[in-house]
């Protein structure tokens, strides 16, 4: 499974190597506020494939949630290694953003150097932030002081007790929708634009100013059936864009039924929505955006993983063997090591890239 990587440094090395082999120019934006654990630069690497003046562009992002980056990275490296960029239609181009949140990837965390969930950061921070009324009620029920099987189980038991009293929608909304008051908590969206958001928006504004049609895929892991892609759209069920997405990818597109319970949180500050808004300010291109999750484990396991991630993030100086074990468990939740899972990722990704470019060329 060459395309997959065990660390940020390894993943970036593979990406840069395949770009060099294919004579692709890499534009590297170095994070000025942090280094990797080994002291290496942390970069958002940007590559353009295809005609510079193409009006139809496929935008690919990975690593918005840092430790999920390795999966999206593998799909990109595979696509380049197979030289699919040489088969682009005349008026089509691909813009690759490798590791939106390199810090999170390097430190095995979903959040960035300021504990910001970048997928809740893409909104107007000059306006009043959305309120997550149930977060404050739930956070102390699921917070753990020590990380072990017993405390993690109790936190999930408390989550389900809260859900039984307040409703499952309110419980999931509290922990996943994003919040803007507790800087050390789960789902913190920040109170200002993150470095990654600023850089990504400037890249998009610079590279896509001539675009008239844009399709954007943001790669994630954790939701859906094990090893299978799960498409999430912000477009309303039955809308023109929703129907277009269903036709392009020939699969179910989830908008109001993200979780098995038939509910979807009202997410705040999503990257795909923020980029769509910026593009509309720029040149008003037609934009189709989706998040593609690759399923890993069940809902309880993934909610537990959010709690694990938060504890590990707030205890960076704890270098105990217990921390090491829990970090490995956390990574496995979002990035399974099973060869079958990884083979499924690559197989489905190959088809998804092909379907996307076919749809874009005929749009």
Specify the pLDDT at position 205.
Answer: 95
How far apart are alpha carbons 229 and 225 in whole angstroms? Answer: 8
How far apart are alpha carbons 163 and 193 in whole angstroms? Answer: 32
Q: Are 298 and 94 in contact (CB under 8 A)?
A: no
> What is the signed CA dihedral for 236, 241, 244, 249, rounded to 10 degrees?
-70
How far apart are alpha carbons 190 and 179 in whole angstroms? Answer: 8
Packing angle between helix 135-142 and helix 149-166, nearest 10 degrees?
Answer: 150
Task: Please provide residue 27's backbone torsions phi and psi, each rounded to the nearest 5 degrees.
Answer: -105, 110
Sign of the torsion angle spanned by Cα atoms 199, 290, 103, 28 = negative
> What is the signed CA dihedral for 115, 121, 126, 128, rounded to 10 degrees?
-90
What's the pTM value of the predicted model, to 2 decimals? 0.97
Instruction: Specify the DSSP element, H or E, that contains 326.
Output: helix 321-334
pLDDT exceeds cutoff 90 at 263:
no
- The predicted model gives 22-37 an average pLDDT of 97
pLDDT tens-digit profile of 205-222?
Answer: 999 999 999 999 999 999
**Which of 83, 118, 98, 82 has its CA nearest to residue 5?**
98
Q: Are 211 and 57 in contact (CB under 8 A)?
A: yes
pLDDT tens-digit profile of 308-357?
Answer: 999 999 998 888 888 899 999 999 999 999 999 999 999 999 999 999 99
Residue listed under structure tokens 């537990």: 304
How far apart are alpha carbons 241 and 281 in whole angstroms? Answer: 19
**Which of 115, 159, 168 has its CA nearest to residue 137?**
159
How far apart are alpha carbons 185 and 116 in whole angstroms? Answer: 9
Domains and their CATH numbers in the chain: 8-132+177-296+335-361 (3.40.630.10)
Q: Are 134 and 174 in contact (CB under 8 A)?
A: yes
Packing angle between helix 240-249 and helix 339-361, nearest 10 degrees?
Answer: 120
Specify the pLDDT at position 261.
Answer: 63
How far apart are alpha carbons 101 and 170 in whole angstroms? Answer: 28
pLDDT tens-digit profile of 150-202?
Answer: 999 999 999 999 999 999 999 999 999 999 999 999 999 999 999 999 999 99
pLDDT tens-digit profile of 276-310?
Answer: 999 998 888 999 999 999 999 999 999 999 999 99
At residue 71 the predicted structure's pLDDT band, cuts being 50, 70 and 90, is: very high
Q: Are 73 and 15 in contact (CB under 8 A)?
A: yes
Residues 6+ apart with CB under 8 A from 321: none
pLDDT exceeds cutoff 80 at 1:
no
Q: Are 339 and 1 in contact (CB under 8 A)?
A: yes
pLDDT exceeds cutoff 90 at 131:
yes
pLDDT tens-digit profile of 76-103?
Answer: 999 999 999 999 999 999 999 999 999 9
pLDDT tens-digit profile of 102-125?
Answer: 999 999 999 999 999 999 999 999
Residues 6+ apart with CB under 8 A from 226: 295, 296, 297, 336, 341
Specify the pLDDT at position 317.
Answer: 81
pLDDT exceeds cutoff 70 at 75:
yes
How far apart are alpha carbons 233 and 243 in whole angstroms? Answer: 11
How far apart are alpha carbons 153 and 157 in whole angstroms? Answer: 6
How far apart are alpha carbons 111 and 17 in whole angstroms? Answer: 27
Chain-centroid distance of CA 112 in Å reads 12
């Amino acid at each position: 499974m060459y395309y997959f990587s065990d660390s940020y440094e390894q993943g970036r090395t593979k990406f840069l190597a395949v770009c060099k082999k294919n004579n692709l120019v890499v534009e590297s934006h170095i994070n000025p506020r942090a280094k990797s654990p080994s002291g290496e630069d942390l970069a958002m690497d940007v590559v353009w494939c295809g005609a510079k003046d193409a009006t139809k562009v496929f935008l690919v992002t990975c690593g918005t949630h840092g430790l999920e980056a390795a999966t999206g990275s593998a799909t990109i490296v595979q696509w380049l290694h197979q030289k699919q960029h040489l088969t682009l239609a005349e008026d089509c181009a691909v813009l690759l953003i490798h590791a939106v949140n390199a810090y999170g990837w390097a430190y095995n965390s979903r959040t960035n150097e300021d504990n910001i969930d970048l997928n809740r950061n893409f909104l107007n921070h000059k306006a009043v932030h959305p309120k997550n009324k149930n977060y404050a009620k739930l956070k102390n029920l699921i917070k753990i002081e020590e990380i072990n099987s017993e405390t993690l189980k109790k936190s999930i038991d408390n989550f389900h007790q809260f859900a039984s009293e307040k409703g499952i929608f309110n419980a999931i909304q509290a922990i996943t929708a994003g919040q803007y008051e507790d800087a050390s908590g789960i789902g913190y969206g920040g109170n200002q634009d993150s470095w990654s958001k600023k850089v990504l928006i400037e890249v998009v504004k610079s590279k896509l100013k001539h675009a008239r049609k844009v399709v954007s895929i943001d790669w994630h892991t954790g939701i859906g059936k094990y090893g299978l892609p799960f498409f999430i759209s912000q477009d309303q069920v039955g809308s023109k864009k929703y129907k277009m997405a269903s036709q392009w990818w020939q699969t179910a597109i989830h908008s109001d039924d993200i979780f098995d319970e038939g509910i979807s949180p009202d997410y705040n500050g999503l990257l795909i929505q923020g980029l769509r808004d910026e593009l509309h300010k720029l040149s008003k291109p037609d934009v189709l955006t989706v998040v593609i999750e690759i399923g890993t484990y069940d809902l309880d396991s993934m909610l537990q993983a959010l709690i694990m991630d938060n504890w590990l993030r707030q205890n960076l100086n704890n270098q105990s063997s217990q921390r090491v074990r829990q970090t490995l468990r956390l990574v496995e939740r979002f990035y399974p090591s099973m060869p079958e899972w990884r083979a499924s990722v690559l197989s489905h990704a190959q088809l998804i890239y092909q379907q996307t470019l076919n749809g874009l060329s005929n749009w």
